[in-house]
Amino acid sequence: MRKFIPGSLLIILPGTIVLLLSCTQGSCFEETESFLKASFYDNATKTLIAPDSLTLYGLNNDSLIYNKTVSLQPALIPLNASTESCTFGIQINGVTDTIEFQYSSYPHLISKECGYTFYHQLDTLPKFTKHIIKDIYTSNKTVTNQNVENIRIFY
């Protein structure tokens, strides 16, 4: 026994040291942005139907989020963590509406590798114009980086 344990230690110690030294810093493979996920439904049949064309942009922002995108389901809508409300212009099959979201943002640690992001909590029901959009149903008020539907847009 006296010989057994020191011998084992000699074998196992270097192995574990190598194992420790081989630990490298990981990479971030997770979604780091929290998007509001909007699914599109046909108002007549209440079935999931993607628009033929979808254009989406934030008011007071020059760039487009989607530009005449075909058959998109769901749309990922980025909320601004620096403000408490956000208004988007949404063009469904060539007809434009606006949707306003009011929310509160809070930090969330994704992982050591990915760092922090902001989650959002929808405070009120979305306000919207009704040119093509008939109704908006809020299915989940918490906007996270997970793939969970937040609103249903009936058009």
100-103: long-range contacts, CB 8 A cutoff, minimum separation 24: 100/126, 100/127, 100/128, 101/36, 101/77, 101/126, 102/127, 103/79, 103/143
Tell me which residues in 78-137 interact with other proteins (CB under 8 A): 78, 80-82, 106-109, 111-112, 115-119
Whole-number minimum distance, CB 31 to other proteins, in Å? 12
Give the number of other CB atoms < 10 A from CB of residue 121: 12
Whole-number minimum distance, CB 81 to other proteins, in Å? 5
Task: Among 13, 44, 70, 95, indicate the residue that binds other proteins (CB under 8 A).
Answer: 13
Whole-number minimum distance, CB 116 to other proteins, in Å? 4
How far does CA 88 lie from the centroid of its chain?
A: 16
| Choice between 93 and 121, CB closer to other proteins | 121
Task: Among 11, 18, 19, 29, indicate the residue that binds other proteins (CB under 8 A).
Answer: 19
Stretch that binds other proteins, among 37-45, 46-54, 75-83, 123-131 (CB under 8 A): 75-83
Cα–Cα nearest to 132, from 40, 67, 62: 40
User: Scanning the structure block, which residue is given the tokens 């992001």?
Assistant: 117
User: Scanning the structure block, which residue is given the tokens 């190598």?
Assistant: 18
Whole-number minimum distance, CB 24 to other proteins, in Å? 13
Q: Which residues contact 153 (CB under 8 A, 6 or more apart)?
A: 38, 39, 40, 41, 90, 92, 133, 136
Contacts to other proteins by CB under 8 A: 1-2, 5-6, 8-9, 12-13, 16, 19-20, 32-33, 58, 61, 63, 65, 78, 80-82, 106-109, 111-112, 115-119
